[in-house]
Amino acid sequence: MSNAVRRTLLYGTAAALVWGGARAHSSLTNAALRPSPSLGPAVVEGALGNRLVPQALRDAGCGPAEAAALAHAVGRALDARRLRPDDRFRLVRDAEGGLMHLTLTHGERRAVVTPGAGGRLRAATRRDPVAVTERRVSGEINGSLWLSMESAGVPAEIIVRFAETFQWTVDFLSETRDGDRFSVAWNERAAGGRVLARSVDAGAYEGKTTGRRTAVLFDGRYYDEDGESLERMFLRAPLKFARVSSRFDRSRRHPILRINRPHHGTDYAAATGTPVSAVAGGVIIAAHRERGFGNVVKIRHDGVYTTLYAHLSRFGRGVRKGARVEQGRVIGYVGSTGMSTGPHLHFQIEKNGRWADFLALELPFARTVERARRAAFAAARERFRPLLSGSST
Ligand SMILES: [Zn+2]
């Protein structure tokens, strides 16, 4: 499932509003374009929106020639191709309408254009000092994760990052319960009064279903408090929104053949067409039709694990023998091909040449903190000790 789809499913329209937020700039821009009514310097300011610099300046009252000259000067101080819709400009004129200066702010950098000798424009780049602040919030689940964190004052992008940080270990769609507790520490980089970036430094989630889950950012990855990476080799299931309809059983009576035949996999009941994802990255060793399994995909993940996905209605794009797939990639769609009583995914995993029970398997961690970095990790973790242990932050 793509991240965008996942976000929408997790957060519904709240997320859509946030991600669509950039678009609201164009309407705000026009509202900000009214010149100040004072008799002193006249200031026009606003966000670029989806306009190029010359157009924004013309909308701010510049003539075509002046707008072009100012935009050219801005281009000497900032790379115009990197400007973004939320970059802001400020145009200041004296009481006679003469240009005093134009400032265009892009992140922590500002282009300042001033009139020089002989009507030439001078352009300079200024860099605002970047201030980093750390913030911490704790709260309780009441309804969804999104609404609970939002009402505790956590910014939207941090809620998304928090959910992504725990995506291998907590299923926030089905495992959140009222009364569960969350804590998150994040930092904000700001310059010139604007937040440039936010990122999660540490987080904890303690729930009835999930138990206590922790995350600390260290060397660019998230680890739990014991130093084990949160990124798992395997997803928790090959598909979302399904229920397990038949478990691994070494002596099951087969529903069609009506003989005792072991069920070496897990069946997930789901509607025909539901996307099926590779639970881990690997190489496709089979993507073809078999009599019993119908359309089946087999993936070898490493020297130890192989997974199999059967009864597919069709294959995912580019899925063929020899192709590489990444974790989460859609490799096919639920169906009922082969020997099957109805639409479902039959999924099985082989460990060292033997079929294993995926739901009971102790799945390997992707990695742990290297021995040489353990002391540094312990120091990083110490900063968030109260937060991780669930006491107040
Ligand atoms: Zn099955």
The pLDDT of residue 257 is: 61
The pLDDT of residue 292 is: 93
Distance CA 343, CA 369 (A): 42
- Kindly indicate the confidence band of residue 144, based on its pLDDT and cuts at 50, 70 and 90: confident
| CA geometry: angle 106, 107, 113, nearest 5 deg | 35
Distance CA 25, CA 48 (A): 8
227: DSSP letter: S
Centroid of ligand 1 to alpha carbon of 267 (angstroms):
5
Centroid of ligand 1 to alpha carbon of 364 (angstroms):
24
- Kindly indicate the confidence band of residue 13, based on its pLDDT and cuts at 50, 70 and 90: very low
**Tens digit of pLDDT for each residue in 325-381?**
998 899 999 999 999 989 999 999 999 999 998 888 776 666 788 889 999 999 999
Q: How much is the mean pLDDT over the chain?
A: 84
Q: Which long-range contacts (CB under 8 A, 24 or more apart) does 364-368 make?
A: 364/232, 364/233, 364/234, 365/228, 365/229, 365/232, 365/233, 366/229, 366/231, 366/232, 366/233, 367/221, 367/229, 367/231, 368/223, 368/227, 368/228, 368/229
> Which protein residues have their CB within 5 A of the ion that is ligand 1?
265, 267, 346
Contacts of 365 (CB under 8 A, 6+ apart): 228, 229, 232, 233
The pLDDT of residue 65 is: 93
Query: What structural domains does the chain harbor?
Result: 3-127 (3.10.450.350), 130-232+365-393 (3.10.450.350), 243-360 (2.70.70.10)
Least confident of 88-97, 142-151, 356-365: 356-365
Specify the pTM: 0.54
Centroid of ligand 1 to alpha carbon of 312 (angstroms):
12
The pLDDT of residue 289 is: 97
Centroid of ligand 1 to alpha carbon of 360 (angstroms):
16
Least confident of 5-19, 75-89, 227-241: 5-19
